[in-house]
Structure 1
């Protein structure tokens, strides 16, 4: 399943949840330098969904805050819960 995420690098703490438009917000402490924020965001998303990091694939948005990632379909219910956290 493809998911749009919005990465917030340089956050005070790492957190996954809430919405930015139709995207899931992933806040990470890592700065956007040399791909550190991308790696941290994918690790945080995998952890929040309860899946392995290798099951999360970055498809688009390497240099953008808005990214498209691929996750297993089995993570759909947990993903919906994370999207609702800010509502």
Structure 2
């Protein structure tokens, strides 16, 4: 399943596409959608609160520090891109595979 995610390596880290689902019943990674990791949070998308919740959820689910995750595009969109630092694309793909088995 993690092979279906379009990770891109850059000089600064790895770009992770995310399909965002705000106002969900729980926080968590719920699968893969259209080339991105599908992430749900309970927070409503107002004043950046949901974006902060997405970063916290990604960090907790993947075992990363919040400081390693930065929103780089899609601030007000369901399709978001996060920059993950201090990790290779292969390492990130492995982390995703461990929580999203096929």
What's the TM-score once normalised by structure 1's chain length? 0.87
- Mapped to 2, the partners of 1:51 and 1:19 lie a distance apart of 19
Q: Which runs of 5+ in 1 are unaligned?
A: none
1:26, CA displacement in angstroms? 0.7
1:80, CA displacement in angstroms? 3.4
Moved over 6 A (4+): none
Secondary structure of 2:19's aligned partner:
strand
Task: State the structure with more CA Rg.
Answer: 2
Q: Are 2:16 and 1:3 aligned?
A: yes
Q: Which runs of 5+ in 2 are unaligned?
A: 1-13
- Cα root mean square deviation, aligned: 1.5
Secondary structure of 1:62's aligned partner:
coil
- Mapped to 1, the partners of 2:15 and 2:96 lie a distance apart of 11
Q: Are 2:40 and 1:15 aligned?
A: no
- Equivalent runs, 1:65-80 vs 2, <5 Å: 65-72=78-85, 73-74=87-88, 75-76=91-92, 77-80=94-97
1:71, CA displacement in angstroms? 1.1
